[in-house]
Every structure is written in structure tokens, then in C-alpha cells.
Amino acid sequence: MSAPRFGAVIVNYNSAPLAVAAALSFLGDGGVAVAIVDNQSADDSRLVLKAAREGRAPLFAAVAALAGTAVELVLAEQNGGFAAGCNIGLRRLLARGDCTHFLLLNPDALVAAGSLDAFAERLADPSVGLCGATVAAYDAPHR
């Protein structure tokens, strides 16, 4: 069996800078594709994410440098909550056809180096179909 190819769904609501950081951490650990689903943010998140995706914002400068990756911005027609946003993003990633495994991330989640390899190792066991991660404090990740 070939190595898993991870895609991530990040559901955003009024937190574009955090969603960008989450995407960068995921892609930096070897992720294949990210769908950032904006859940009808009431702030300027949609503008920030669009500008960043189009390379017009320094915030996303690092994304363009990550060859072989893709970040898709999906604008939800309504805010159906986290689960609905995840479903929208999963449909987009599944349609790409190049992801075999998926992470569902809050925008304030950062993927630590080596996490995707650890997930892949755990998921290599045929009796395992789902796994999760340890959550560390965003402002104090050493805890």
C-alpha cells in the first residue's frame, strides 16, 4: 500500500490569520491539499483569505513557496456550523482525487512537525480506521 496522502479541512469563522497559520503548518508537514471553508464570517476574513490565496497578501507568501500543494478557499453559502463546514470541505477534497486521508482542523490548530507521519504509521494498522491527536495549548505548545 502506498503512503497516505493527507488533505485537511479548516473551517474558518472570523479568524483568517489563524486559518492561514493552520494551513501552513499542515502543508509544511507534508500535507497535499487544504480546503479552507469560510462559514459566512462577519469580519473581513473572506477578503483576507481571497487576497492571500491570490498571492496579494504577505500572509500567504509561504503558501506559494510550497510546491506541489494546493489551498482552496470555499465560501459557504450559510453558516451551518463546524460539521457542515467539514462536509463542504471534504466534498471538495474528495473531488480532487489525490487525498487518501483527511484531517478536520479548527483554525487555531497547528500541525506539529512529524504529525502526519505519526498518523500514517498508526493508520497502517488495518484494525484502525480513525485516529486523533494530542492537543497542546496554542499559546503554550510546550505544555
pLDDT in tens, 36-74: 999 999 998 888 887 777 766 665 555 555 445 688 889
Contact between residue 16 and residue 45 where contact means Cβ atoms under 8 Å apart: yes
Instruction: Indicate if the pLDDT at residue 129 is higher than 60.
Output: yes
pLDDT greater than 90 at residue 97: yes
Q: Of all residues in the chain, what percent carry a pLDDT higher than 90?
A: 53
Average pLDDT over residues 82-89: 97
Round to whole Å and give the CA distance between 143 and 140: 6
Q: How far is CA 63 from CA 20, 30, 69, 74, in A?
A: 9, 12, 8, 17
- Render pLDDT for 3-23 as a digit per residue (tens, 0 to 9): 899 999 999 999 998 898 898
Sheet holding 70-75, edge to edge: 70-75, 33-38, 6-12, 101-105
Identify residue 79 by its one-letter amino acid code: N
Please name the helix (run of DSSP H) or strand (run of DSSP E) that holds residue 101, with its range, or none: strand 101-105
Instruction: Please give the single-letter amino acid code of residue 61.
Output: A
Q: At 14, is the secondary structure helix, strand, or coil?
A: coil
CB within 8 Å of 5: residues ≥ 6 apart: 32, 98, 99, 100, 101
* pTM confidence score: 0.86
pLDDT at 67: 43
Residue scoring higher pLDDT (102 or 65): 102
Counting residues of the chain whose pLDDT is more than 70, the rounded percentage is 82
